[in-house]
Amino acid sequence: MPAFRYTVSDVMTHTAVAIGREASYKEIVELMDQWKVSAVPVLEGEGRVVGVVSEADLLPKEQFRQDDPQLPGQLDEASKAGGVLAEELMSSPAVTVHPDATLAEAARIMARKHVKRLPVVNGVGMLEGVVSRSDLLKVFLRPDEEIAEEIRVAVLAELAPSVHLQALVKDGVVTLRGSLRDRALVPLMAHSIRAVEGVVDVRMELEGQPAGAV
C-alpha cells in the first residue's frame, strides 16, 4: 500500500480573495485588511491569474513618500510608489502552483521566490484557490494514531514484512523499536518514515544500536 501524499488541493483555501486589474490601491489595502491576507491574485477575463499584489508591492508608496531612491536596485520599487491601480502595482507574471503539486514542491517555490502565498491555478491558468504557509503546516495536525498506522502499513510492511518492529508516535515524533538484523535498512526506513506527512522527527531504538535521531 503506497503512502498517501497530500497535495496542494488538500490544504488550499478554495474560496480565494482576488481583484481585477482596475482595483485601486485603497481598495486593495482594505481587502487585505478585511480578509487578513498578505497578497491577492489579479485576475482578468474568466478568472485567469495575470499577477499578484502583495504587501511588498504596496509598501514603496510609503517608503518613497518623502525620499527618492538612492540605489539602482530601488528603481523598480520606486516606480510602484506612483501606482494607483492593481495592474500598475502587481508583480507579473504571477508565481503560481498547480493543485496536484506536493506540499514539498509548494514549500520550495515559496522559499525560492520569497513569497507567503501562492495562487493555485489549473492547466490554463484559471484560479482555483490560494495556498499559504500556514496551509502547508496543516499536515502536522494529523493525529499520532493516523501517522502510526500509515507507517505500519506503508513503510514497515513494505520494507521489513517479516520483522517485528513497533512504531510509536507522540506529538509527531516517531520512535521505531525492535530488532533489525539488516542494518542497511535503517537509513532507508528513516527516510521513508520522514516522508510520511505529519512526521516531525524519527528516532531509532533498535536492539544493538545506540538510541537517537537518525
Q: What is the pLDDT of residues 138-196, one digit of tens each?
A: 999 999 999 999 999 999 999 988 888 999 999 999 999 998 888 889 999 999 999 99
pLDDT at 5: 81
Please say whether the beta carbons of 84 and 18 come within 8 A: no
pLDDT at 75: 47
Please say whether the beta carbons of 156 and 185 come within 8 A: no
Taking alpha carbons only, the member of 94, 130, 87 closest to residue 113 is 94
Taking alpha carbons only, the member of 115, 118, 114 closest to residue 131 is 118
pTM (global) more than 0.95: no
Average pLDDT over residues 10-16: 93
Average pLDDT over residues 13-25: 95
Each residue's pLDDT tens digit, 68-110: 545 455 545 555 667 899 999 999 999 999 999 999 999 999 9
